[in-house]
Amino acid sequence: MADCVPPYEAATLTLPGGRTVEIPVLRDAAGATFLDVRRLFPETGVCTFDPGFNSTASCESTITFIDGKNGRLLYRGYPIEDLAEHGDMVDCAHLLLRGALPTRAQRGAFIVEATHHRLVHENLIRFFHGFNHDAHPMAIMVGVVGALSAFYNDGMDIRDETHRDKAAIRVFGKITTIAAMAYKTAHGQPIVYPRDDLNFAENFLYMMFALPTCPYALDPVAARCLEVILMLHADHEQNASTSTVRIAGSSQANPFACIAAGAASLWGSAHGGANEAVLHMLEEIGSVENIPACVARAKDKTDSFRLMGFGHRLYKTTDPRAKVMRDMCHKLLSHLKIKDPLLSLAMELERVALSDEYFIKRKLYPNVDFYSGICFRALGIPVNMFTVVFAVGRSIGWITQWSEMAAESVERISRPRQMYNGAMERPFVPLGERGGSSGDTSDEEGEEEGGGIVGTSRAQDVDTLGKRLLDVHVAHVEREL
């Protein structure tokens, strides 16, 4: 291929017919190997076929790195365990957005800037009033986040770094406000405005659970648990929702519309609904006494029952986020001293799985979704808010990925190819020649009218409809008189 000239390393591909082409070989910072096929189709007319893009790198990024083999997750080079133990959401957001942990001065300025953007436009709040009382909070979230583009669109230049940074700060500042308002709307409670004296997680809990009728006492352990959950979910390479944000952004769409697209993707049960599935599974198990039978069913390949929240497709050893969440989960439950049969069931299921050779051999350890679902329940967050909270944490990663994509020097709209297996070109068939059921006589035995053919029954229907409309008009005039 054209790009494959010394000193580049290349792989040789032999096409049907015997033609050979050289494919440039690329390596990333971790030493992983990639074949650069960008010129393959333009020069040969041949495409690669990779449904789901599981063997395709859709972009080059410097944000997040997953080492599934060794169970590592890095944000800008920092292990997630260190960030979760020693940092907070401000450190996490500043690191992702601006590439480095903030100095003391940068941290103070970042907090002031983000806090300034917590309020949403009063006209935006009217959007919440239009949703039905039993609307799913995630449906509200998707709609209102997308509506931000109606308020912050004029003058937006995505090629301007300052414009991109301001859009990112607005997302970080407003996302908890919108999420909490979605919760209040879905539960028929009055909206609570943000407080500038509270940190990211504290403010989120306050806006969700405070009521105007009584003081709200913040629990620092509960707030810290929520903050850690949000940090652990902030970014995770090119997953379905992040890829959705990048694909939408490649068309130069408004960034808030791109974030709404990501939230819609996250809403799918195969993506953001995993921790919700954990709670449903625990409810299905029912009691501690049923655990042995359910574990046996999970091992049986002929049984459709599955233990949700165990293992991860990317991590071949353990999910590093699960280690952090396990400690936080046990700390929270010990602190709150909640008497909840479902939480007791979850802890016993964890014990059984961690001591069962079947799960140990296959490295099917409880993952971050298992523990976060339990924590959400302990915090009083209802099941229909689980994915909303996930979206709050992931939104900072989405807007960071969007900003990185928008800053690329070469504009490239996402346009995947397809392998078409439908009908090839064929002649158009006039309506009268397409056949149909023998009882279809709607176009037969018609009478001429206005130069065309109108079926008798159809003409009668039109005449009847005209009389009804006249009756309605007369009744309306009589009421006015």
**Positions marked active-site:** 312, 369
CA–CA distance, 355 with 347 (Å, rounded to integer): 13
CA–CA distance, 402 with 262 (Å, rounded to integer): 11
CA–CA distance, 362 with 66 (Å, rounded to integer): 20
| 366 closest CA partner among 325, 305, 332, 335 | 325
Instruction: Match 């037969």 to its residue by tokens.
Output: 444
Tokens found for residue 80: 């997630």
Instruction: Match 């602190």 to its residue by tokens.
Output: 335
The residue type at 104: R
Rounded to a whole number, what is the distance in angstroms from the first to the last CA of the chain? Answer: 83
CA–CA distance, 130 with 392 (Å, rounded to integer): 22
Instruction: Match 């990185």 to its residue by tokens.
Output: 404
In angstroms, the Cα distances linking 66 to 69, 197, 232, 401 are 9, 35, 13, 15
CA–CA distance, 369 with 372 (Å, rounded to integer): 5
| 454 closest CA partner among 466, 441, 463, 445 | 445
**Cβ contacts of residue 265 below 8 Å, gap of 6+?**
240, 241, 244, 271
Tokens found for residue 424: 């090839």
Which helix or strand (DSSP H or E) is residue 14 part of?
strand 10-14
**Cβ contacts of residue 411 below 8 Å, gap of 6+?**
252
Which stretches of 68-190 are DSSP H helices?
Answer: 80-86, 89-98, 104-116, 122-129, 137-151, 161-186
Q: Which residues of 48-78 are buried (b: 16+ CB within 10 A; e: fewer)?
A: eeeeeeeeeeeeebebbbbbeeebbbbbbeb
